[in-house]
Structure 1
Amino acid sequence: MSFSFRPIAPSDRQLIEELVRAYYAFDGLTYDPSLHGPALDQLVKGDPAVKIWIVEADGTPAGYLILTIGFSMYYGGKDGFIDELFLKEQFRGSGGGAEIMHFADVQAKELGLAYLHLEVTETNTRARGIYERRGFAPTGHMLMSKRTAPD
């Protein structure tokens, strides 16, 4: 199976929503149209701090990758965060996860990112194994979040 990556286009709005909903269902997350819908609208319009690609397997939409760009003094400058990475179930186990991670590494280097970060649930041992084989390791830091926009 051959995987390819293409930047999201405005015409992909429905497709990306379907993929995000599939990912959230897989990971036990709640998709909230009032929260996630506007975020998807922003993604398809383009944002210089966010890169998103549709992953295709032999021309069929198979998943997606969202990479956000930030800055960290601690990590030495521009860094990236793999916000979401998803591959539909029927495409797992065929090397797609490793190909997506390789693609993310290449993009990080092309963007001049000093570090690349991601988060993974502790119970997702399959994904953790892929990430660890690609050089990711726990940092000893804990991710904490706070909503700043009004509800």
Structure 2
Amino acid sequence: MSASLHLAGPGDLDRLTGFVAAFHDEMGIRQDAATRQDALAPLLDGSPYGAAYLIGPARSPIGYVIVTFGWSVEFGGMDGFVDEIWLRPAVRRRGIATEVLSELPKALAGAGVKALHLEVDRDDEAAQRIYLRAGFRPRERYMLMSRVF
């Protein structure tokens, strides 16, 4: 299996929506189909706020990763946040996610991204091991906090 990344475009909306729905089902994230499509469509249309990549062969991808962009004075410029990453269950445990997360910063650095962040369930030790292998480190003094409105 290949961990190659392909920038998703408008023609990938249906495929990506299906992948995201599968991920959300696994994680217990409740979101209706219209909201999901409305959140994905701008990314596929070239929004400067983020990008969606399909993982694997272009004709038959095996997953996706979505990165959103922000600005950080602390990190010296643009930073990215791995909003979601998902692989089909049949191809997991082959090192593909680690490879994607190891290569993604190299690709994003070329676009000026200075740091890449992600969040992980505190109890999901398997995911934490993947992220550690890919070079991500916990920031012990900090925790992600959110306000939804």
TM normalised by structure 1 equals 0.88
Distance 2:57 2:45 in 1: 24
Match of 1:47 in 2: 47
Q: Quick check: 1:143 aligned with 2:130?
A: no
Shift of 1:141: 1.5
3-state SS in 1 of match to 2:56: strand
Show CA shifts across 1:76-117 (max 9, x none).
221111111111111111111112112212122212222110
CA RMSD of superposed structures (Å): 1.8
Structure 1 segment 36-75 matched on structure 2, within 5 A:
36-57=36-57, 59-75=59-75
What letter corresponds to residue 102 of structure 1 in structure 2?
A: S
Identical-pair percentage: 33
3-state SS in 2 of match to 1:40: helix
Distance 1:56 1:134 in 2: 18
Show CA shifts across 1:112-134 (max 9, x none).
22211000112221111011122
Q: Are the equivalent residues in 2 in contact too, given 1:3–1:58 (CA < 8 A)? A: no
3-state SS in 2 of match to 1:15: helix
Distance 1:16 1:59 in 2: 13
Question: Which 5+ residue runs of structure 1 have no aligned equivalent?
Answer: none
TM normalised by structure 2 equals 0.89
3-state SS in 2 of match to 1:82: strand
Question: Which 5+ residue runs of structure 2 have no aligned equivalent?
Answer: none
Shift of 1:25: 1.3
Moved over 4 A (4+): none
Q: Are the equivalent residues in 2 in contact too, given 1:55–1:65 (CA < 8 A)? A: yes
Show CA shifts across 1:17-50 (max 9, x none).
1000111112222232343221122222220221
What letter corresponds to residue 10 of structure 2 in structure 1?
A: P
